[in-house]
Each structure stands twice: as C-alpha cells, then as structure tokens.
Amino acid sequence: WTMAPRNADSSSGIAPGNALERADRSIAVLPFADMSPDGSQLYLADGMAEEILNLLAAGEELTVIARTSSFAFRDEPVDVVTISRRLNVAYLLEGSLRRNGDRLRVGVQLVDGRDGTRMWSASYERTLDDAFTLQSEIAEAVRDQLHVRLADTGDRRLVDPAAYQRYLEARFLFNRRMGDDLQRAEALFL
C-alpha cells in the first residue's frame, strides 16, 4: 500500500482533479437483493450480480468498479447519488432476485448516479438452468443502454445447475466468514 497526501473537497468527499472525475462510461453493480419467500437465496443474488459485473468488466470500453467496493454498500442506508459519488461512477446497476423452486425472477434497473434517475429497467423470469443465459442477457441490455461493446467471453460450457448453486453458496460463505462459514464452504466445495 502506498500512502499519498490528498486534498479532498469537503463538500463532496471526492478528491479534486481530472484524474478522479467521474468517467461517462463507468458503472458499479450493486449487490442484488434477495426477495425469495424464505430469504435464503442471498448467495444466488450475489452470484448473479457478480457474474454480470464480470461480463461488463471484460470489455475495455466500460470502467467497472470492483465487487468488494460496490458490495460494501449492501447494508448501508445510502441513496444512489451518494453511492455514485463515493464510488466515482456515472451509473449504478441495482437488482433483485426471487427464487421459487427452480424458477428465478430477476429485476434490474440502470440508474444515472448523477441525479438518481432510472434510465432503464427490466424483469426477467427463467429457470435456474438458464442462469448463465440470463446473466448474459442482462449484461447485453446494460451494454445497449450505455452504448458500449462487451468483450466476447467465448462459449459457456454446460453447467449442472445444482453444482453451480453449491459453488455460489460456498463462495458466499467463504467471503462472509462468520461462525462456521469456512467449514460449511469447504464441505460445499468438495
């Protein structure tokens, strides 16, 4: 880590200067809310948001804020304009996921972080088997709204939905690291 002095504009909390000004093609993908009836699908909501973030970040035309930075706002009661200013991005992608059996309903909205206006929103309903396709569809729609080209990530291999779900849950537990989460994550990874 390197420490350097920084003069911050106290009114905005953002350091002055052209290098830190918000880029027009910058976005943060916020953690998706788990709207499932029993509230047990946070790992799936996080996995969906993270995969969309990865698809958006694969191209060179869009600056995408890292997962750790954007997911830090999960439990912080802050409005989108403040989040945008603190992350120094022009746009935010918010979403929610609801799972019922093998059905997924995902709602997303693209927000202009400068003034909090919703630019675009959509709702998708698919089976868990179609999760990868759904992630790609959402990333493509965001790309179309921002008029940027996504990188070609190649063909996706067929994935067993149950194995993918275990993987997402294990990764969620590993990242959370509360109580016996590491042991539970290890058991799911095996």
pLDDT in tens, 62-87: 899 999 999 999 988 899 999 999 99
Q: What is the pLDDT of residue 81?
A: 96
Whether the Cβ atoms of residue 89 and residue 26 lie closer than 8 Å to each other = yes
Structure confidence at residue 16 (pLDDT)? 37
What separation in angstroms does the CA of 56 have from each of 3, 62, 63, 184? 30, 7, 8, 30
Q: What pLDDT is attached to residue 88?
A: 94
- pLDDT of 153: 43
pLDDT score recorded for residue 13 = 40
Beta bridge partners of 94: 109
Q: Which regions of the chain are under pLDDT 70?
A: 1-23, 148-161
Cα–Cα distance for residue pair 55/84, rounded to 1 Å? 20
